[in-house]
Structure 1
Amino acid sequence: MVSVGKQTLIPHFILLGLFTHSPLHLFFFSIIMVMFLVALSATELMILLINVDSHLHSPMYFFLSWLSLMDLMLLSTIVPRIAMDFLLSGGTISFTDCGLQILFFLTLLGDECFLLAFMAYDRYVAISNPLRYSVVMSRRVCWIMVAGSWLFGLVDGLIQAVFTLRFPYCSSQEIDHFFCEVPAVFRLACADTSLYETMNYVCCILTLLLPFSVISASYLRILVAVLCMRSAEGRQKAFATCSSHMAVVSLFYGAAMITYMGPQTYHSSKQDKVVSAFYTMITPMFNPLIYSLRNKEVTGALRKLLRRCP
């Protein structure tokens, strides 16, 4: 403990974790770890297929490869820490490690928000203006969009990580969560955090609502374009192309908005853990399966890769 005036500052935090050592929680932990290993394999396979198969060298799959990489990094930021704390029966995390976890997590969260928006815009251009698709979505434009996603995410992560750990923490060391999520860490601060919570809320609105507005506008225009199509086969193909992305967006944004934009006074720690598990673990684990199982081009590339193997 470090004393400052009449306050005793705590040197580290203790994560209470997602699971206890009950038989039921051991079962859930085993499921999460199996899903984690399957997701790692599926995500790495998705990246490999997109890079080795020339038929997948289009803007849609270019973005999908980056989304897969972000999912891989997000899972690696959260799940190994959960496993270590559960197996070693300890959740001690230093201020530095907590700050780094906030930085990496929020950077990747922001990255995915903006990348999903760019992916929706890509589908809009492909369906509404196919003749100019290769010009509008050139390789240079795609790289700018990916770089912009990383930049916006990094700025958001840096701002929130720096300001969160600037507050004095001098009461309980226990974070009732399975990782250093900003709202959970705030509850332990022994200073007035209302101003920063307002700033944090504004950051969340920009990071979540701005990309979500782009997604909503893109899919509204896509819906209009699809309804104007005369070919039933064309409408079916367009809906099939967008359905996977819409499923991912619904899971990811729904859970993130509940956590970061809902009134904190109505949140419980148990609810926060469940909701956070969706966009930190469940959605990244299911993303490669959602995109691959519903995509004939990806499954075709997988079959070709398997035929090459001796």
Structure 2
Amino acid sequence: MTFRAPPRYYNLQDSNTISFFTVLPSGCSAEGRAAAQLANDPATLLNGSLSAAAAAEAAQLDAMKARLDAVQPLLAALLAEPEPALTIAGLDPANPLVWMGVQGQICFRIPASANTNPKGLVLYLADSTTYYVNVLGAGNSPMPADYQGCSNFSVSKGVAAGKYFIALENSATGSLFVTVGFFADKASLACTAFSYATTFGTVTIAWTMPVARASANDTVWVVNSRGTVVNWFYTSCKCQKAPGALAVPTGSFSFRVFKGTVPGGYVFELHPGGLDPMAALAPNWIPWAKFGW
């Protein structure tokens, strides 16, 4: 018995088309025959196919170019070097105030191509070439060698209240990178007395605020070693219920603090308006560990 392989069928595609035919009516004109011959001419068909492919390729290239053009601004922004900046954490642009003696953070950013070392911070009087040496606490140390970084700083209470700016400079050449301006003012807070009992202590806190900056909402916070506020009072009323009618720029108050579950005792902070940042931190001379706190 002989088996015959089944016939194979293929989908009609341009790639396997051998020729095209046009069925014309009988008695067609010479012009009709010429047009049909031209339409079925392999060269004409090839040229049409090539033209269509070229148009599709051109359209694709135009679309790719449009996408590249759209990302050019982003690429330029990514490749551009940053503008020089010197910023103080928490500084209000509308009221740039720095409290002297209070530690803060200052950060810088300069173009990498302009970065030279060593870099340092210098405190200047505003609109002046007068500057102060070693009055910025931790900020007196050399700044990070990278083109950006941060450091702690505090303006010394030894300088007068007034307008200043801090300059980031090359410490060797004095070349200026960038500055930040502010008004520096000073307040004070002190623990003037402390007596101890088994489970509580009585502390006396004295404060002084600049008269022009004092408000009835100024508060003193009692903060444990974990940074949690465990007690507070308005300086205007020495209470918590409601602030007094008038600000009390200078005063003192004795109150009790109790031994808590968090070891390490407490610190006392003065907060203008009851808000951050704090204006003064009382020196912590109380030997809390001696009392088992």
Could you say which structure has the greater relative contact order, defined with CA pairs below 8 angstroms and 6 or more residues apart?
1
TM-score, normalised relative to structure 2: 0.20
Structure with greater helix share of residues:
1
